[in-house]
Chains A and B, each alone.
Chain A
C-alpha cells in the first residue's frame, strides 16, 4: 500500500514524511506567536484530524457519510459541558474541578482537565458513531448517505434547540443522585443554542504554562500532536487486517462476506474510529475557538470536510492531509484575506466570503474533471478512475439478493 506514496518522483517515502514533520515542527518559529497565519495553521491541523477521521469512514470503508459534523458537535459539546461555567449551578454552585489549575480552578461550573475531556469526547463520539452505524448496516450507497445526512441534521437541530431542553431536574434525580456524580441544578439545559457556551476553558497541560488566546504557538503544537497521533492510527489501520477487510467490503460486499469478513463488526469499527477522531478534533476546537455554539454545526461543515477528503484522494492518508490543509487555507486565508475584495474591484456588490461554498463546489468540479482520483490517489482508486472497472461480473447479485446478505 505504501507504494502509492513511494512512487512520488523517486523520493524515498520515509524521508519525505520525516521532512514534512520537521517542517511542521519548525514552522511556528518563523511566525509571530499571535499572528493570523498561526491561527490559520491551527485550524488547518484541526481539520486534518477531522478529514483523516472521515477518511476512515468514506475512504477506507467506502461508506459515504454526509453527517460528519455530528461528531464535531458531540466532541465540542463534551468540551463545553466539561470545561466552562455553563453548568454554573453544578455541585450546589461550588463547581466541580478535576485536575485543573489556573483561573478555571476557582470558577463555578464543571472544569475537567483537557486530556480527560479528550478521552470523554472519544468515548461519547465512538458511541454516537456506532449508533449511526447500526441503522446503515442494511443499507448501501446513496441510502447510507441519506441516513447519515439526517443524523447530522438531527444533532445540529438538537444543538440549536437544546437551550429549551431542561435536563437539570431529571439529571439531579437520576444520575446526579449517584455518589461522585455532581448535580447540575434545576435550571441546567442541554446546550446554549446559537448563543453558544463561551468562554470555554483553555487547554491545561501539566508542566506547561497555561494556554492563552494570544500565544497560538502552544495550541499549534497540541494540534500537531493530535495530527501525528491520528496519522499513526490511520497508517496502522490502513495496513492492518481490519484495513484490508474495509477495502474488501468497499469493493464487493458479497464476496467479502463469503471470505468470512464480519460485516457488522467491520463497518461499526469504521464508524466508531472515524467518529472518535472527529470528536477529538471537536473537543480541541471547542477549547481553541472559545465557543461551542449551534451555528458551528451545520450541514455545510460536513461537506467542507468531505471536500477535503475528495480533493486529497479518497482513502489516501497523505492525500487527505494535503487536501485538508489546502482547503482550510483557502477557507480561512485565501478567500477572506487575499481575494475578498475582488468582486468589489470588478464592480460587483458582494464579498467573496459570501460565496465561499460556491468556490469549494467549483474547486471540486475542477478536481473531478482534471484529476478525479484526487491529488495523491490511493492506488486502487486511480485504477477505478482510469477505466479498470469491475471487470466481467456477469450474474453479479441483484438488489434483492444483496438486501438479503448479512
Chain B
C-alpha cells in the first residue's frame, strides 16, 4: 500500500473543472515529481491533497485512511505539509516567527526541528530576526520549505520550488530537497522545470489540462520525445 493514493479526483474552481480525474501514488520514502505547463492543474492536485481546494469527486488516502474531505488543519495534523506556490512566507514576520508558525499545530517543544531547519539552510539561521518580506526569492523559498518541515511531516508537498529563483539558488534548494528525502521524508513535487524536477525524483507523472497523460520512471519520462520537446527544450 502506497503512503499516498490519489484516486480519480476531480476538483473545480467555481464552475470550471480543473482536474478531470487524476490518479497517482506515492510510496513511503519516495520522491515523485509531477511536471506540466502553466494551468495544467499541478497546483490543484497539491491543493486537493492538502485540503485547500477539496476534491469534488474521487478519493485521497493517506496511510490507508481517507482524507479527501478533511479540513486543512486535520490534514496537516496527519503529517502532510504543503509548501505553497509562490512561497507565501508571512512577509512582515521574522524568519523565526515564520518557522514557529510552521509548528502551529504541535503542542510540544519544536526547538529540535528549528535546529534541524537551520542545519538544512544555514542562511536562515543567519537571518532569523530579519523580516521575511525583505529576503530574496530563493531565501524565501528556503524559508517556505523550512516552515513546512517544522510540522515534522511524513509527506512534503512542494509547489514549484524553482519558480522565479536565481539558478544558483535553485541548485542549492534541490540539493537540500535530496537531503530531506534521504532523511526519510516522502516528497511529492510539482515543477515546470522538468530538468530539476525529474532529476531529483525516482518516478514522475506528466499532467496536461487536468489529466495525467504519462507516468513512469523519472528517467524514462525524461527520455520521452514529447516531454523533451515540451519541457526540456530539446
Residues of A whose CB lies within 8 Å of any CB of B are 241, 244-245, 247-248, 251-252, 254-262, 380-381, 383-384, 388-397, 400-401, 403-406
On whether A393 and B86 interact (CB within 8 A), knowing A258-B72, A401-B13, A403-B14, the answer reads yes
Q: In the complex, which residue of chain A has the Cβ closest to the Cβ of B136?
A: A392
Assess whether A251 is in contact with B90, with CB atoms less than 8 Å apart: yes
Residues of B whose CB lies within 8 Å of any CB of A are 13-14, 16, 47, 50-54, 71-73, 75-77, 81-82, 84-93, 97, 100-102, 104-105, 131-137, 140, 147-148, 151, 160, 163-164
On whether A393 and B87 interact (CB within 8 A), knowing A248-B101, A388-B134, the answer reads yes
Q: Roughly how many angstroms separate A289 CA and B220 CA in the complex, as a whole number?
A: 80
Q: Roughly how many angstroms separate A372 CA and B148 CA in the complex, as a whole number?
A: 34
Closest 9 CB pairs of A and B: A260-B76, A391-B133, A395-B86, A380-B92, A255-B88, A260-B105, A251-B90, A260-B73, A394-B164
B93 to A: closest C-beta gap in Å = 7
Assess whether B102 is in contact with A259, with CB atoms less than 8 Å apart: yes
Q: Roughly how many angstroms separate A217 CA and B179 CA in the complex, as a whole number?
A: 68
Q: Can you list 14 A-B pairs, Cβ within 8 angstroms, ordered by A?
A: A244-B97, A255-B88, A258-B72, A262-B73, A391-B89, A392-B87, A392-B140, A395-B160, A395-B163, A395-B164, A396-B88, A401-B13, A401-B53, A405-B53
Q: Which of A261, A388, A406 contacts B91 (CB 8 A)?
A: A388
Assess whether B104 is in contact with A254, with CB atoms less than 8 Å apart: no
Residues of B within 8 A of A260 (CB): 72-73, 75-77, 104-105, 151
Assess whether A395 is in contact with B85, with CB atoms less than 8 Å apart: yes
Residues of A within 8 A of B88 (CB): 252, 254-255, 258, 393, 396
Residues of B within 8 A of A257 (CB): 52, 72-73
On whether A261 and B134 interact (CB within 8 A), knowing A251-B91, A401-B53, the answer reads no
Q: Roughly how many angstroms separate A218 CA and B151 CA in the complex, as a whole number?
A: 52
On whether A406 and B51 interact (CB within 8 A), knowing A260-B151, A383-B131, the answer reads yes
A25 to B: closest C-beta gap in Å = 36
Assess whether B72 is in contact with A391, with CB atoms less than 8 Å apart: no
Q: Roughly how many angstroms separate A67 CA and B102 CA in the complex, as a whole number?
A: 34
Q: Which of A251, A260, A388, A405 has the most CB of B within 10 A?
A: A260
Q: Which of B13, B14, B50, B91 contacts A390 (CB 8 A)?
A: B91
Assess whether B89 is in contact with A255, with CB atoms less than 8 Å apart: yes
Q: Roughly how many angstroms separate A381 CA and B86 CA in the complex, as a whole number?
A: 22
